[in-house]
Amino acid sequence: MRAAHHNAYHAGHHRFAVFTAGATFVLLIAGALVTSNDAGLAVPDWPTSFGSLYKIPPMVGGVKYEHGHRMVAQFVGLLTIVLAVWTQRVEPRGWMRGLGWGALALVIVQGVLGGVTVLFFLPPWVSTAHATLAQAFFSTVVLMALFTSRGWVEEESRMALDVRRPRLATLAAWSAAAIVLQLILGAAFRHSGMKLLPHLILAVVVTALILWTSVRALMDYAHAPEIFRPALVLLVLLVVQLGLGFGAYLTRVEWSQDAPQPLASMVATTVAHVAAGALLLAASVVLVAQTRRHLADPDEIRHDHRHKTHTPKAVHA
């Protein structure tokens, strides 16, 4: 059992990280509304909007989605700057300070990709990178909220042995990686950079991995809420996401092929599908973090013990 952390919990910093994560989730929805309403070029210039950096254009038609998305993005960018600087001032953990700067770097790159996709008329792979990076940024901020929480800062780690193979931490990492790949394929399909079939095939793999991971976690660690809760959330989100995916398929592929403009049902299901995908990724990375924090590998413990046993004049000195 490892010693407890001795970092001081900072309630204000944690709440601000949670708020930033919530605002980022709203930004994801705003971005999905732009794509689903085919409003990506409703504002044709960048970084200005119709030639102005500060004037709000008439919010009509696709402009309300595209310019609204830009306004939310600017707000999240400002929040991220504050969060990164605040983290430097209050965090004793060097890796957390690095994560703060990392989040800021991600949001800057994300903004540039958003501009490039407008200036070059929505190239599929740039638009796909923009959509996928948004999900990665959301998960990064969610992790910052987790790492600044009272439970993470003040509780002890390593409370149980992870004896089965593959380790739960490994399964959780595989699930998170598969979800990332699935989000890339989904974004590529939405932005017309790829057919739907790869996304459907990988959905089977992702479903199997998440079921394996979450059921293992729920059965073996029902006594460990830090692991049980994200595993349960992951499982529930998977069920929701599969239903939304089927709905998005019906409304986008089957019902909207000859529609003169995006159907409201297609917009609703697609946006919900994108949002649930972001939550699914966030839940998976939280589970990865919690398994690595609270589960110990017996082989690693034995290796550490042997190392201490065989180095020892230092020990017996």
Up-side HSE of residue 201: CA atoms within 13 Å toward CB?
A: 5
Tell me how far CA of residue 120 lies from CA of 61, 280, 297, in angstroms: 21, 31, 49
- Determine the average pLDDT of the residues in 264-277: 95
pLDDT at position 315 is: 40
pLDDT at position 98 is: 98
pLDDT tens per residue, range 73-91: 999 999 999 999 999 999 9
Q: Confidence band (pLDDT; 50, 70, 90) for 258?
A: confident
Q: With pLDDT > 90 as the criterion, what percentage of the chain qualifies? A: 81
- Average pLDDT over the chain reads 91
- What span, in angstroms and rounded, lies between the C-alpha atoms of 206 and 238? 9
pLDDT at position 172 is: 97
pLDDT over 90 at 298, yes or no? no
- What span, in angstroms and rounded, lies between the C-alpha atoms of 252 and 155? 47
- Determine the average pLDDT of the residues in 239-254: 93
- Determine the average pLDDT of the residues in 6-24: 93
Verdict on whether the full-model pTM lies above 0.85: yes
pLDDT tens per residue, range 196-218: 999 999 999 999 999 999 999 99
pLDDT over 80 at 6, yes or no? no
pLDDT over 50 at 19, yes or no? yes
- Determine the average pLDDT of the residues in 234-244: 98
- Determine the average pLDDT of the residues in 29-52: 95
Q: Confidence band (pLDDT; 50, 70, 90) for 296?
A: confident
Q: Which are the contacts of 109, defined by CB distance < 8 A and separation ≥ 6?
A: 133
pLDDT over 80 at 305, yes or no? no
* Of the listed ranges 7-11, 119-123, 144-148, 305-309, the one predicted with least confidence: 305-309
Q: Which of 265, 242, 281 is nearest to 28 (CA)?
A: 281
Q: Confidence band (pLDDT; 50, 70, 90) for 301?
A: low
